[in-house]
Amino acid sequence: MWRRDPFPPPRRRGGTRARPRVDTGVDPGEMDETVEFVAAPDPMQRTNISKPSGPSFSGRNRRDGWVLVFPALLLILAMGVYPLLYSLFLAFHQWDLQTPATPFIGLDNFRAALNDDRLWSALKNTWVIVIVGICFEFIIGLGLALLLVDLPRLKRFVVPIFILPVMMVPIVVGLTWRMLWDNQYGAINHVLRMIFGDGLNIIWLGQTNTAIIAMIITQIWQWTPFMFVVLLAAISAVSPDLYEAAALDGANFWNTLKDITLPSIRHIIAVAILFRGLDAFKIFDLVYIFTQGSPGTTTETASWYIYRLGFQFFRMGYASAISYLILIMLSIVATIYVAAFIREGGKA
């Protein structure tokens, strides 16, 4: 129905090198030819270009511009910026919902957080889930994309099937896999029993390590298709000339992958991993459904621990301080990541 943008975007002047084209991975025959890569989290690249501005009554334009932005800006200030500042205020207070007094305690919350073993354990779990999960998502996604990329007819049929997990409601994914992992009636133990004999009884969600593994596999199930679709689109867009030249030179599959495919899509890989990483770090739903942090508090994640602090112990100030520490940590990691893999990746 809406096959493509009605018009291609204007050529970007002063942009970086020419970027490869991408299709949606759905239908190579009709793919959107207007596409270009844009370093998404790096909007400098696309906005530092002098835009063709309309008729030059720029004072009026500026006023019009802010009038149009106003509703969105007001909402973001009221429900995005203000709560964040409020949270910073809370972080410097001992703000327990049960006690009426809320004294200013300076950096005490932050100091307590640094010595909080439960926080470190939650952070460790979160990073393990994020890193291990994304590694597998990337490898499996890349493998499937490579298997499908030169089968255009099958691709059209298979992509809509593979993409289904991404479209599931996360809490439904949690519930579904909660039933699959069940040690008594779950399908996973059932299949394992068929292989390893009836005595097998893995209590997946009742032990720390297996519960973490279960969360990772569940995440892999839901998000590998995302990697797959993005990588498939990127690989389909690599110029066929490169492959022809490689074939003439007698390059084998691995050489082609290492020297042509991966370098050509390096930029997209970096962006996709960043998005998945930021998203995976929020993991909350699976903990809620699978273990609620048990046994003990060993399967807690960062989001879950903050939720617990705030709404089980009602330690609003402390929860806010930890939120801020995590926000700072994520900003630093993301900044380093962007500098290392995305901004530089554009050149080289």
Partner 1 sequence: MRADVAEAQMAQAATIARDAPIAHRSARRKRPFLSILRYSTLLIAAIFFLFPIFWIVVMSFKLPSDYLTRPPVWIPNEPTLNHYRTVMETKGWAALENSVVIATSATALSLIAGTLAAYSLARLNTGGKHFAFWLLSQRMMPPVVLIVPYFLMLIDIGEHVSFLGLDQRGSLIAIYTVFNLPFIIWLMRSYFDGVPLELEESAMVDGSTRIGVFLKIALPLALPGLIATGTFAFIFSWTEFLFAVVLTRTNAVTLPVAIAGFSGSQGSNWGQASALAVVATAPIFVLSLLVQRHFVRGLTLGAVRG
Tell me the backbone φ, ψ of residue 315, rounded to 5 degrees.
-90, 80
Residues 182-211 that bind partner 1 (CB under 8 A): 182, 184-187, 190, 193
**Per-position b or e across 8-33, b if 16+ CB within 10 A of its CB:** eeeeeeeeeeebbbbbbbbeeeebbe
Closer of 212 and 326 to partner 1 (Cβ) = 326
Which whole-number Å values give the CA distances from 342 to 156, 257, 347, in the listed order? 30, 20, 9
Instruction: Select from 107-115, 117-125, 130-138, 143-151 the region that touches partner 1 (CB under 8 A).
Output: 143-151
Cα 121 to chain center, whole Å?
A: 22
Closer of 43 and 296 to partner 1 (Cβ) = 43
Place of tokens 């046994």: 295
10 is a contact residue toward partner 1 (CB under 8 A):
yes
Residues 94-123 that bind partner 1 (CB under 8 A): none
Binding mask 286-305 for partner 1 (x = CB under 8 A): --xx------------xx--
Residues 14-53 that bind partner 1 (CB under 8 A): 21-26, 28-41, 43-44, 47-48, 51-53
Shortest Cβ 296–partner 1 spacing (Å)? 18
Shortest Cβ 348–partner 1 spacing (Å)? 19
213 is a contact residue toward partner 1 (CB under 8 A):
no
Which whole-number Å values give the CA distances from 198 to 177, 178, 193, 203, in the listed order? 22, 21, 5, 14
Residues 48-67 that bind partner 1 (CB under 8 A): 48, 51-55, 61-62, 64-66
319 is a contact residue toward partner 1 (CB under 8 A):
yes
Q: How many residues bind partner 1 (CB under 8 A)?
A: 143
Residues 270-289 that bind partner 1 (CB under 8 A): 271-272, 275, 278, 281-282, 284-285, 288-289
Containing H/E element for 34?
none
Place of tokens 């429900």: 79
Choose which of 107, 139, 179, 339 interacts with partner 1 (CB under 8 A): 179
Q: Name which of 223, 235, 224 is nearest 155 in CA terms.
A: 235
Compute how many other C-beta atoms are within 10 angstroms of the C-beta atom of residue 313: 13
84 is a contact residue toward partner 1 (CB under 8 A):
yes
Contact between 288 and 305 under an 8 Å Cβ cutoff? The reply is: no
226 is a contact residue toward partner 1 (CB under 8 A):
yes
Shortest Cβ 124–partner 1 spacing (Å)? 17
59 burial type by CB count under 10 A (0-12 exposed, 13-18 middle, 19+ buried): exposed
